[in-house]
Amino acid sequence: MSSIMGSFLQMKISDPSADRLRDEREVLETLLPFEGADVLELGCGKAEKTRAIASAGKVASITAMEVDRIQHAANLRIADLPKVTFVYGGAEAIPTPDATFDIVLMLKSLHHVPLEKMDQAMAEIRRVLRPDGLLYVSEPVFAGDYNEIMRLFHDERAVREAAFACLRNAVTTGLFEMIDEIFFDSENCFESFEQFEARALKVTHSDHRLSSELYDTVKRKFMSHVGPQGVRFRQPMRVDLLRRPPDRR
């Protein structure tokens, strides 16, 4: 009980003093034992991180799940990743047997799980992880210039707070053990507003319908950050690394 409470007391939703710029791929490689691992990625999106991990050649397999049907259909057309299996579905209902994976990844995806299904997702992740298996969750911190633009049309404060509360609850109840919590800045770069529009406004998983007035406000706010190298935002990030404890007999 004391170790669980100790882990709980270490968890915090943000750390304003953490300003180290890091590439999340380096964080993943540092924290996770990918060699020979069976990996589940929940909310793989365009499979960019999936590709990077698979291409490194260490993992045994990756099951990459996506709940956006349009993006999942696009992922199914990827033919050059033999170790990757693309599966449609959400974290609250993982269609695999118990104790299938060594590592589960949620890369900026936990806050997209419906609020009423977050705890169910944690239970599902525990079910499909092998004993001592690792859960890696990265979440954007609700702060920074990029966040200030996004919140104009897509305010995620409530869902990000709910995602953190879900993780904290999973630790305090003993569903998972906390291994580490890391804060850093990632870099979000855009060459133009058109690129921002394609990546942030015209996404297939959300229906962002902006009035002409709001669109102009978003564009004006974005353009105020343009520099010689386009727009480079520093996005504060939090990573929680959790472990599924062995079953008690």
pLDDT at 10 over 70: yes
Contact 1, 65 (CB under 8 A): no
- pLDDT higher for 5 or 162? 162
Contact 65, 90 (CB under 8 A): yes
- Average pLDDT (153-160) is 94
71-92 pLDDT, tens digit each: 999 999 999 999 999 999 999 9
d(CA 4, CA 101): 24
The pLDDT, as a whole number, for residue 62 is 98
pLDDT at 23 over 80: yes
pLDDT at 166 over 80: yes
What is the layout of strands, in order, in the sheet containing 177-190? Answer: 84-88, 61-66, 38-42, 101-107, 129-140, 231-243, 177-190
Least confident segment among 14-18, 188-192, 239-243, 244-248: 244-248
Pairing of strands 129-140, 231-243: antiparallel
Average pLDDT across the chain, whole number: 93
**Where residue 41 falls among pLDDT bands split at 50, 70, 90?**
very high
The pLDDT, as a whole number, for residue 204 is 74
pLDDT at 227 over 70: yes
Which residue do the tokens 């003993």 mark? 174
Q: What percent of the chain has pLDDT over 70?
A: 96
The pLDDT, as a whole number, for residue 18 is 87
Question: Which residues lie below 8 Å from residue 201, measured CB to CB, with a gap of 6+?
Answer: 153, 208, 210, 218
The pLDDT, as a whole number, for residue 2 is 34
The pLDDT, as a whole number, for residue 6 is 43
Whole-model pTM? 0.92
Which CATH number applies to 2-142+155-188+236-243: 3.10.580.10, 3.40.50.880, 3.40.50.150, 3.30.750.80? 3.40.50.150
**Where residue 249 falls among pLDDT bands split at 50, 70, 90?**
low
